[in-house]
Amino acid sequence: MHYVSQGQGEAVLLIHGLFGNLDNLKNLGSVLEKNHQVIRVDVPNHGLSEHWDTMDYPSLANAMVELLDQLNIASAHIVGHSMGGKIAMAMALLYPTRVKSLVVADIAPVAYEPRHQTVFAALTSLVFDEHTSRKSALAHLLDSGIDEGTAQFLLKNLQRTDTGFEWKMNLDGLIHCYPRIIGWDLPIGVDVHFDKPTLFIRGGDSNYVTADHRDEIVRQFPQVTAKTLNGTGHWLHAQKPEIFNRIVAEFIEQNQG
């Protein structure tokens, strides 16, 4: 699994969301690096990491633990956004001794209804040929009903080849595994919970974490505290980076040792 490790101190692992890469939380990483060893990863099927045919939260959590083993890190503070938040939660529930504290950004430990059909349709219908450019790819995504911010985010996955462009991410693999990505299927009983410090941060304008999710969050993470960033949507870490970074950094500092 491709990763970048910078800084020294207690380890913090940063895990990005669907269609992202290790640069998504780079801004947060630069703040935390002053006092911590910060590891940013490309989740399998994303960025420069290996492509998997089967992708689920138990296997993704295991991959993160194997990376900690590789780096000789006994336990770390884990921060995840969206899909990365689900990977972080799976680590905490399946490997609690490896997690010192947990920060989950705008996702809940529940199964969701599909909500990326427009994105997948836009990505799969983009034809790569000798005429393809970043400009034409952007126009295609916008014409397919993708908003400009999301389109620019998705285009970070474009990479140039000898013959033109291709996706860095394993698009076929993500489509195949999408039911597992939006699901929440862990091999644990209903009484299993993570009883170390946990922080949920949600976007005030986002519908990913709602009042309906409260009981499941508290059941699985009883030591939870929650914050809402008003004026932000699902991309809260990019929309209000200063306050997001400060909240995460202060939480991790409070739970060192």
**pLDDT tens, the chain, 257 aa long:** 999 999 999 999 999 999 999 999 999 999 999 999 999 999 999 999 999 999 999 999 999 999 999 999 999 999 999 999 999 999 999 999 999 999 999 999 999 999 999 999 999 999 888 888 889 999 999 999 998 888 998 999 998 887 778 899 999 999 999 999 999 999 999 899 999 999 999 999 999 999 999 999 999 999 999 999 999 999 999 999 999 999 999 999 999 87
Residues with Cβ < 8 Å from 32, sequence gap 6 or more?
7, 12, 38, 245, 248, 249, 252
Are the beta carbons of 101 and 77 closer than 8 angstroms? Answer: yes
Q: What is the pLDDT of residue 35?
A: 95
Q: What is the pLDDT of residue 220?
A: 97
Q: What is the pLDDT of residue 131?
A: 82
Task: Tell me if residue 81 is catalytic.
Answer: no
Q: What is the pLDDT of residue 105?
A: 98
Task: Given the residues 16, 36, 46, 234, select the one marked as catalytic.
Answer: 234
Domains annotated for the chain, with CATH where assigned, are 3-111+184-254 (3.40.50.1820), 117-176 (no CATH)
Q: What is the pLDDT of residue 205?
A: 95
Residues with Cβ < 8 Å from 73, sequence gap 6 or more?
11, 37, 39
Q: For helices 117-124 and 148-155, give the axis angle rounded to 10 degrees.
A: 50
The pTM for the full model equals 0.95
Task: Tell me if residue 82 is catalytic.
Answer: yes
**CB-based burial of residue 162 (10 Å sphere; 0-12 exposed, 13-18 middle, 19+ buried)?**
exposed
Task: Given the residues 36, 77, 82, 206, select the one marked as catalytic.
Answer: 82
